[in-house]
């Protein structure tokens, strides 16, 4: 069943903690992104761990294999469910991340978190590929990078919901997909270019949906998250997925 991840992309630990408390009754994960990791990392990680809230650590690691492996070992802890790296870091780097996750988890006696590889950011549109020097479009590049991630032992990839069906067809349902760029109907896209609604992402077969601003900036974050969960549930029960 598709799971919702709420992005705690807020400037202060107090705001992040308030969101965690507002959403604790719902069956959601929270995303600890770069804003939190650079601003108040230990406080929010410990806060979520103490409250048994599952976390997606959106670190987007991209460096030499040894450095990425060392960073992963610092991020593995109870309740961290997913950590991501950039697929463009290459096969060896991704393998180092997967190996480090397993080693540190064994030391702690916990289940290893999933290591996901970021394929193509959802803020990058088809028109941006020539500028980046990449051949082909978003879908072609996502599949190529996903193949590398699979070979490295990653649990899945971060991608647009537009690529999910093809990825599932190529790599099977056990290869997981985590999709940002999710916007309920009528919500502003902001800096996201390849977006879908929650229902469209569920119908495509996405395993995790990341939603930030439509929940975080809503007058009632709990109500906004619950509405998205209801939309996801209705789509899942309709029998239209994949």
Q: Which domains does the chain have, with CATH numbers?
A: 3-237 (3.20.20.70)
Per-residue confidence (pLDDT) for residue 195, from 0 to 100: 76
Cα 117 from Cα 103, distance rounded (Å): 19
* Pairing assessment for the beta strands 176-179 and 3-7 based on DSSP bridges: unpaired
HSE value, Cβ hemisphere, 13 Å, CA-based, for 4 = 29
Is pTM beyond 0.75 here? yes
pLDDT of 53 above 90: yes
For residues 125-129, average pLDDT: 75
- Position 121 confidence tier, pLDDT thresholds 50, 70, 90: confident
Nearest-angstrom CA–CA distance, 87 and 214: 27
Tell me the helices (H) and strands (E) count for the chain, helix number first: 11, 8
Specify the pLDDT at position 132: 78
Give the CA diameter of the chain.
Answer: 47
Catalytic residue annotation: 60
- Better-scored residue on pLDDT, 236 or 189: 236
Nearest to 211 by CA among 174, 236, 185: 185
pLDDT above 70 for 190: no
pLDDT at 17 over 50: yes
Phi/psi at 221 (5° precision): -60, -40
Averaged pLDDT score across all residues of the chain? 92
Q: Determine the pLDDT at residue 242.
A: 45
* pLDDT greater than 80 at residue 241: no
Over residues 139-144, the mean pLDDT reads 91
Angstrom distance (rounded) from CA 88 to CA 118? 8
**Confidence label for 124 from pLDDT (cuts 50, 70 and 90):** confident
User: In this structure, are residues 126 and 161 in contact, taking their beta carbons and an 8 Å threshold?
Assistant: no
Q: What pLDDT is recorded for position 99?
A: 98
- Is the CB of residue 113 less than 8 Å from the CB of residue 145? no
**The pLDDT of residue 239 is above 70:** no
3-state SS assignment for residue 30: strand
Q: Measured between alpha carbons, how far is 201 from 58 in angstroms, rounded to an integer?
A: 20
Burial tier of 226 (Cβ tally within 10 Å: 0-12, 13-18, 19+): middle
Residue 221: band (very low, low, confident or very high) from pLDDT cuts 50, 70, 90 = very high
Of the candidate ranges 23-32, 95-104, 179-188, the one whose mean pLDDT is the lowest: 179-188
Helix (H, G, I), strand (E, B) or coil at 28: strand
Q: Provide the β-strand partners of residue 74.
A: none
Which of 78, 32, 15, 13 is closest to 217 using CA atoms?
Answer: 15
For residues 142 and 82, the answer to whether their CB atoms sit within 8 Å is: no
Q: How confident is the model at residue 188 (pLDDT cuts 50, 70, 90)?
A: low
For residues 95 and 97, give the distance between their C-alpha atoms in angstroms, rounded to a whole number.
5
Rounded to an integer, the average pLDDT of 65-83 is 98
């Amino acid at each position: 069943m598709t799971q919702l991840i709420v992005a705690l992309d807020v400037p202060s630990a107090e705001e992040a903690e308030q969101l965690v408390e507002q959403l604790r009754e719902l069956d959601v994960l929270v995303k600890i992104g770069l804003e939190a990791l650079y601003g108040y990392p230990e406080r929010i990680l410990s806060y979520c761990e103490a409250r048994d809230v599952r976390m997606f650590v959106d670190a987007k690691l991209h460096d030499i294999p040894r450095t990425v492996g060392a960073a992963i070992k610092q991020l593995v802890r109870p309740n961290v469910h997913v950590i991501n790296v950039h697929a463009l870091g290459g096969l060896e780097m991704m393998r180092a991340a997967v190996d480090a996750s397993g080693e540190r988890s064994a030391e702690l006696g916990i289940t290893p978190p999933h290591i996901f590889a970021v394929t193509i950011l959802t803020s990058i549109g088809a028109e941006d590929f020539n500028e980046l020097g990449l051949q082909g479009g978003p879908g072609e590049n996502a599949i190529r990078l996903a193949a590398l991630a699979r070979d490295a032992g990653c649990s899945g990839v971060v991608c647009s919901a537009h690529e999910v069906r093809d990825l599932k067809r190529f790599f099977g349902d056990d290869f997981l997909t985590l999709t940002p760029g999710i916007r309920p109907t009528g919500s502003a896209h902001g800096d996201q270019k390849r977006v879908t609604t929650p229902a469209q992402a569920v119908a495509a077969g996405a395993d995790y949906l990341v939603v930030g601003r439509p929940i975080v900036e809503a007058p009632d974050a709990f109500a906004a998250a619950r509405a998205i969960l209801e939309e996801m549930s209705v789509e899942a029960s309709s029998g239209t997925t994949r």
